[in-house]
Amino acid sequence: MKGKSLIDVLHEIQESNPENYVPENLAKKVSDTFKTSPAKVYGVVTFYTMFSVMPRGKHIIRVCRSLSCHLADGKKIVKKLKEELGIDFGETTEDKEFTLEESSCLGMCSIAPSMMIDDVPFGNLKEEDIPVILKKVREGVL
Amino acid sequence: MKMYRSHILVAEDSKSLSKGAKEIEELISKELRALGLDEEVLVAPTGSLGFEDIGVAIAVYPDGVIYAPVTQNDVPRIIKEHLLKGRIVKELVHEIGKKDVTVTESRAERVLSIQQRVLLKRVGVINPESIEEYIAEDGYLALENALEKGPQWVLEEVKASELRGRGGAGFPTGKKWEFTAKAKSDVKYVICNADEGEPGTFKDRVIMEGDPHLLIEGMILAGFATGANYGYIYIRGEYDLSIKRLQKAIDQARSYGFLGENILGSGFSFDIEIKKGAGAYICGEETALIESIEGKRGEPRKKPPYPPTFGLWGKPTVINNVETLANVPPIVVNGAEWFKKFGVAGSYGTKLFSLMGDVNFKGVIEIPFGVKLSSIINDVGFGIKGGKKLKGVILGGVSGSLITPNEIDTPVDFNSLALIEAGPGSGSIVVLSEDRCIVDIAKNIAYFFRHESCGKCTPCRVGTEEMYKIIDSISKGFGEVKDLERLDKLSTSMKLTSFCGLGQTAPNIIQQSLRKFREEWLEHIIERKCSANVCEFEEITEEVTNE
């Protein structure tokens, strides 16, 4: 009833940006629209893990680090992802295809270990699945 | 309406979709067309059938046969044999395909024998994207009933049912509603807390993906009973399929006149909007959630005032969990007395649990309150994987409680669990086998809270960080016996002085483990030994530095 909130607008900005982040110039515009300070907007953007103030890859990989996935040997999946992508958490591959992020529970515990690539969930992951999935995403099949 | 002789329902919740459920559905349609059966057999998506842990599941009606797991290779055979020739393909019927399970009866029978499906009765039965199917299964009947009898009647009925909140705290729903109903204000709100984020919890998504109209109807009833005309569903941004299905359901409900101005000509107006979260566990805390809907950082507010009188934009606001609201339509249709036939005194009704960890069956289950935890593990969960011994259970999420094998016969209800300082919490049951290391688990939990503390208050912000550091050093072999005392004291301080529930509950499992598994902690510290062989001890060098 109150219309779009600041967070709604930030979602829109980020979703329409191929680099998956909220750029400074737009954040400043948002602060004008909402009659608040850029610092407040920065405070909101950095509070939530789904937002970023830095350019990211075309695809965001969120791998679960919480209890159920941990108990299902999620560590191996994390290691494999880092190996295959050649990056650490918070980093983006050189070809700007993938950014790797760690995530809290994704609610996929019965098929742990799990991850999401953009909006698509993947579960019961085995190490050998990782290169296959990454290849498919890169080719745009998934 | 067109009649079909058979229906094939394909489980298409997000987990099944990740395993290729959509492709199976397409293949089934293709095979049916090839055999000229597409006019006789309807293929439709449905919610979870409860077999996501093993693969894609399909149900064939009217025979009521569930095939799971179904692979691409199985499809032609199922179609040819079952749908063309009428012979059930016995080998593919959800017989337990796992080596470590030795029970002989069929999985579904066993899993469902203790369960009672009130909230999940349509999940895996109807197409969640069809309002007509929801209506055909008694959907929006409660709303009709309510509009006829008036808001006061609905409120009294919910109060009489003694329904308690399913989000964790267990506050009586009727009482909460009454505060808002009595509050004088021209604007009131209903919020559905769908920010399911407690590690080990995935029950709400089963409702949202499998029966979204149930939640919508529950919210309309909450609005009607309390005098609110607008509702928000605050849902975590990661639950993409839930968001899509709920949005579709809202649009359908609006076009049928169940939402919007002057609902069914009653004069009552109510509408719902979805607010997408952006990744913050703290937003499951009701006042942090309200801040987030307002577009701010999700930091908790000081209480009192409480949301029922001072909530969203300062207006009286009812805020309930998805599962709580899903309980309302069945109560309004069948009455409070009917509801109280399920469960036990103090905890009426059924409860959804997310069962996982080292059990043979993992998934969302619905059982009446009062069933023993041991029965849930052994009868519904088919016991511990690999025939191992039970080490413990983490009940109610990582902010919940740690149950030992000698407490395992405790009935799962609010009052019985309170006697062992536990509660159903978020409805998560993580079963741990003897192969698990308690220090490793504590470290994972501490890591989670250290990341998720919002930073507003010092006890939580600093406490979660310190807690992680101490446990991390113990897990690497650098602990001292006095660290256990430090952890214990720190836990108590956090419980007593943290601003909100996050910091107050973060130490729960860790502190309980110090008492219940003290030997194991000492073994790590004194002997530098991890019996479960999980912790990797580092060499002691001259200069030991904590990172």
If you average pLDDT over every residue of chain B, what do you get?
93
Closest CA to B392 of B419, B430, B442: B430
In A58-117, the residues whose Cβ lies within 8 Å of chain B are 62, 65-68, 70-71, 103-112, 116
Q: What is the mean pLDDT of residues A2-26?
A: 95
Peptide bond into A121 cis (omega under 30): no
Write the single-letter amino acid at B350.
T
Which pLDDT tens digit goes with each residue over B232-255? 999 999 999 999 999 999 999 999
Examine the pLDDT at B88 and tell me if it is beyond 90: no
Q: What is the mean pLDDT of residues A112-121?
A: 94
Q: Provide CB contacts within 8 A for B46, sequence distance 6+.
A: B9, B10, B11, B12, B59, B123, B124, B125, B126, B127, B128, B210
pLDDT of residue A115: 97
Task: For residue A45, give how far its alpha carbon lies from the nearest alpha carbon of chain B (Å).
Answer: 8
Question: Which residues in chain B touch residue A120, judged by CB atoms under 8 angstroms apart?
Answer: 18, 240
Tokens 């395909």 belong to residue:
B97
Residue in chain A nearest B294 by alpha carbon: A5
Please tell me which residue, B174 or B382, carries the higher pLDDT value: B174
List residues bridging with A59 in a β-sheet.
A98
Examine the pLDDT at B102 and tell me if it is beyond 50: no
Which pLDDT tens digit goes with each residue over B432-480? 999 999 999 999 999 999 999 999 999 999 999 999 999 999 999 999 9
Examine the pLDDT at B345 and tell me if it is beyond 90: yes
Write the single-letter amino acid at B143.
L
Examine the pLDDT at B103 and tell me if it is beyond 50: no
Task: For residue A74, give how far its alpha carbon lies from the nearest alpha carbon of chain B (Å).
Answer: 12
In A9-28, the residues whose Cβ lies within 8 Å of chain B are 10-11
Q: How far apart are CA B245 and CA B126, in angstroms?
A: 13
Handedness of CA B235, B239, B245, B247 (dihedral sign): positive
pLDDT of residue A1: 54
Which pLDDT tens digit goes with each residue over B205-226? 999 999 999 999 999 999 999 9
Which pLDDT tens digit goes with each residue over B8-38? 999 999 999 999 999 999 999 999 999 999 9
Tokens 């529970």 belong to residue:
A105
CB distance B43 to B56 below 8 Å: no
Which pLDDT tens digit goes with each residue over B39-80? 999 999 999 888 888 899 999 888 778 898 999 999 999 999
Chain A contact for B196, CB < 8 A?
yes
Task: For residue B337, give how far its alpha carbon lies from the nearest alpha carbon of chain A (Å).
Answer: 34
Q: How far apart are CA A12 and CA B119, in angstroms?
A: 34
Q: How far apart are CA B19 and CA B31, in angstroms?
A: 20
Examine the pLDDT at B504 and tell me if it is beyond 70: yes
Write the single-letter amino acid at B179.
F
> Which one-letter DSSP state was computed for residue B424?
-
Q: What is the mean pLDDT of residues B293-318?
A: 97
Task: For residue A106, give how far its alpha carbon lies from the nearest alpha carbon of chain B (Å).
Answer: 7
Q: Calculate the dihedral angle through the C-alpha atoms of A15, A20, A24, A26, rounding to the nearest 10 degrees.
A: -20
A11 and B237 within 8 Å at the Cβ level: the answer is yes
List residues bridging with B62 in a β-sheet.
none
Helix axes B508-516, B481-497, angle to 10 degrees: 140
Q: Which of B15, B298, B448 sits opposite A110 (nearest CB)?
A: B15
Q: How far is CA B207 from the centre of its chain?
A: 9
Write the single-letter amino acid at A119.
D
Question: Which residues in chain A touch residue B53, judged by CB atoms under 8 angstroms apart?
Answer: 110-111, 124
Question: Which residues in chain A touch residue B297, judged by CB atoms under 8 angstroms apart?
Answer: 43-44, 47
A107 and B205 within 8 Å at the Cβ level: the answer is yes
In B303-342, the residues whose Cβ lies within 8 Å of chain A are 313
Q: How confident is the model at residue B111 (pLDDT cuts 50, 70, 90)?
A: low
Examine the pLDDT at B346 and tell me if it is beyond 50: yes
pLDDT of residue B412: 97
Q: What is the mean pLDDT of residues B167-175?
A: 94
Best A110, A122, A124 residue to mutate vs chain B (most B CBs within 10 Å): A110
